[in-house]
Amino acid sequence: MDDLFVWGEIQELRKSINKHNELYYQKAQPVISDFEYDKLLKRLIELEEKFPQYKTDDSPTKDVGSDLLPQSKIISHKMRMYSLDNAYSFEEIQPFLAKLFKNTEIDIVAEQKIDGFSINLYYENGELLHATTRGDGYEGEIVTENILTIKSIPRKISIKEPIEIRGEVYLPKIEFDRLNKERETDGKKLFANPRNAAAGSIKLKDAEVVAARNLQAIFYSIGFSERKFTSENELLDFFEKQRFPTFKDYLHSKADSISEFMLDFSGYANNLENQKNELDYEIDGIVLKANNVIFQQEIGFTSKSPKWAIAYKFKAEEVETILLDVDFQVGRTGAITPVARLKPIHISGSMVSNATLHNEEQIERLDLRIGDTVKIIKSGEIIPKILAVNLAKREDSFPKVIFPKTCPICETALIKEEPGVITYCENLNCLAQIQRRIEHFCSREAVDIEGLGEALVKQLIEKKLVSKIEDIYHLDYAQIELFEKQGKKSVENLKNAIEISKKQKFHKILFGLGIRFVGAKIAKILASYFTSIEMMQKATLEELIEIEEIGEKIAQSVVNFFQEERNINTIKKLQEAGVNLVSEKNEIVNLFNGKKFLITGTLINYKRNEIKEKIESLGGKIISSVSKNLNYLLVGENPGSKVAKAKKIETIKIISESDFEELTNR
Ligand code: AMP
Ligand code: ZN
């Protein structure tokens, strides 16, 4: 394979995996299934193995996805928290076993894989001191108060030595249904599945709200411990004795051959798969662990997961329901997305009423008719997919789903660039697009104007007070005060938020402009490279392509954007309104000149995202683990195991927060 090609694919994969990590771990809103995610990761591992020259320390293959939010209070784990390798079939388990048990008897414990949120409890002198999330695997967010709402978690245990107890927090299925019903009556957004609901609950600020959710937990492993255990089943016994909720019907299998074990295992697995809907919590597979702890220690870990364990994941569930209608939504760029409206149905533990239909070709391939009985599949993603139509249940009277020829909002003729590709409404004044563009500009990831949400934007557009991004900075506040539900106070707040937004960081404003293919990360790269919108406007296609991570597609889109009269006008108007269109502190941008930083522990003067942004704005790069490529380890309070690791590598400078301040204040 062509080297350049490989590097391109590796970058694409890393970008996409990082994005999905963030959606899954931080936002608890995954958009692809575990299966699809694992496919991306497997491909990346494969390429990095084949082309080791492209291995870098910041690759997502090196770390577990992080659930740490910028403002979180964090503390280091005494021992790292890992992820698990996955297998999707019985066949995939066998090489794992063959590698593990070359000359020894097979001795495996298999237990349910709970689809919840990992948690770490730390006990000292028999008392629960704190509870943390997995975080980035090295350090987790402190969520003790919320965890204490779970009554079944022992506050005291009878052993005095420090110990980390690990397990999974989950929301029972009935609680999930109850919670969603409640949210529906309150007009709140529904949780897609119990896992997301649990993940969201754990991080709530108000423990009383958490208490009302009735979370539960189950424990199955330990991290740091002075007390030694000899086997997994001894550990499970220990949990039982200390009154931790734990697994009772796990499989403990000793076998002389793989086939003998598989006989045992398949019995257990089939049984569990048949009965999983009767459990009061969600499981998404079975975890197989080598039982003997000494043996585990000999085998060790990869950079992400134990080599002595694997998760066997169940196949995604498929159900049938009825297609009620298909809506055609218009996005910010004018792209038309068909959405199938379904008769609500329970699948993989949640109620669904929508499915994605990617484009016109998919609708044609399925030959969809309204009223059809369709087979849908859901494997962890929020929105399920339509797999096929059950033709036996089709009636002649069912009308064919027709992809519109004109925009459902503005009636402009739709344009499709090539078959199989997305259809666009190219009317830049299309009200749907205007709405989405302005919403995008105001969103948290962009300029961040609190209070300017969907409903108000809609009103402003209807009343003809805004039609372009720049209009936000010339609002007629007296008019808005006359709107329904807009008190003086909220208009005052809006005014302030808009004023503050002018000073937003350049890269966020750039992202807000909604240039096609310029996502948040690309906007950051462009902003730090060009440092001002004027410089960027002057850039040629060639110059843009030269920038790391900017491909031809993005480059062309940027060039096109700046050629359009109305965009030039928008920029001029934004500048006139005093909106920031330059990177901060241009002159010292290159203080760190690409030097690599890693942060451990809690800093006093910076939140996580602030320190990262500061380092990056000074030309430094953040990487995610200690290695010889690291230049600076910045150590805060309660640092983790990274310090000891860094001390072993002479070239790493270990600095405190005040050393860092000194470095940057020169
Ligand atoms: P993943 O979320 O794909 O990284 O899968 C690994 C996670 O599965 C672990 O971090 C645990 O939170 C979770 N898990 C659920 N049940 C178990 C179990 N029985 N043994 C080990 N891990 C489990
Ligand atoms: Zn339109």
What 3-state DSSP class applies to 386? strand
Q: Where does the chain hold its CATH 1.10.287.610 domain(s)?
A: 3-54
Measured in Å, residue 76 CA sits from the centre of ligand 1 at 19
Measured in Å, residue 411 CA sits from the centre of ligand 2 at 6
232 lines ligand 1 (CB under 6 A): no
Model pLDDT, residue 350: 67
What is the reported pTM?
0.56
Higher pLDDT, 484 or 366: 366
Domain 506-586 grouped into CATH 1.10.10.10: no
Percentage of the chain exceeding pLDDT 90:
54
Q: Is 113 noted as a catalytic residue in this protein?
A: yes
Q: How far apart are alpha carbons 280 and 287 in whole angstroms?
A: 19
Tokens found for residue 644: 């000891």
Model pLDDT, residue 382: 57
Higher pLDDT, 555 or 277: 555
User: Looking at the domain that runs over 74-313, which CATH code has it been given?
Assistant: 3.30.470.30
Q: Where does the chain hold its CATH 2.40.50.140 domain(s)?
A: 318-416
Measured in Å, residue 310 CA sits from the centre of ligand 1 at 10
Does pLDDT of 257 surpass 90? yes
Q: Where does the chain hold its CATH 3.40.50.10190 domain(s)?
A: 589-665
User: Looking at the domain that runs over 589-665, which CATH code has it been given?
Assistant: 3.40.50.10190
Q: Which CATH topology does 3-54 take?
A: Helix Hairpins (1.10.287)
Phi/psi of residue 405, nearest 5 degrees: -90, -20
Does pLDDT of 352 surpass 80? yes
Nearest ligand to the CA atom of 313 = 1
Summarize the confidence of residues 229-240 as an average pLDDT: 96
Give residue-wise pLDDT tens across range 640-665.
888 999 999 999 999 999 999 988 87
Model pLDDT, residue 513: 95
For Cα atoms 369, 370, 371, give the angle at the middle one, nearest 5 degrees: 105
Q: What 8-state DSSP symbol labels residue 149?
A: T
Give residue-wise pLDDT tens across range 80-114.
999 999 998 999 999 999 999 988 899 999 999 99
Model pLDDT, residue 529: 72
Tokens found for residue 247: 């697994």
Nearest ligand to the CA atom of 434 = 2
CATH of 318-416, one of 1.10.1300.10, 3.30.1360.80, 2.40.50.140, 3.30.70.1170: 2.40.50.140
Model pLDDT, residue 585: 57
Reported confidence tier of residue 404, pLDDT bands at 50, 70, 90: very high
Give residue-wise pLDDT tens across range 509-554.
999 999 988 988 789 888 877 878 998 999 999 878 876 667 888 9
Could you tell which of 287, 303, 314 is best to mutate to test the pocket of ligand 1, judged by most ligand atoms within 8 Å of the CB? 287
Model pLDDT, residue 637: 87
Residues 6+ apart with CB under 8 A from 55: 48
Q: In what order do the strands lie in the sheet with 106-114?
A: 86-87, 309-313, 283-290, 106-114, 251-255
Which CATH homologous superfamily contains domain 431-501?
5' to 3' exonuclease, C-terminal subdomain (1.10.150.20)
Does pLDDT of 391 surpass 80? yes
Q: Where does the chain hold its CATH 1.10.150.20 domain(s)?
A: 431-501, 506-586
Reported confidence tier of residue 11, pLDDT bands at 50, 70, 90: confident
Phi/psi of residue 539, nearest 5 degrees: -65, 140
Mean pLDDT value across the chain: 88
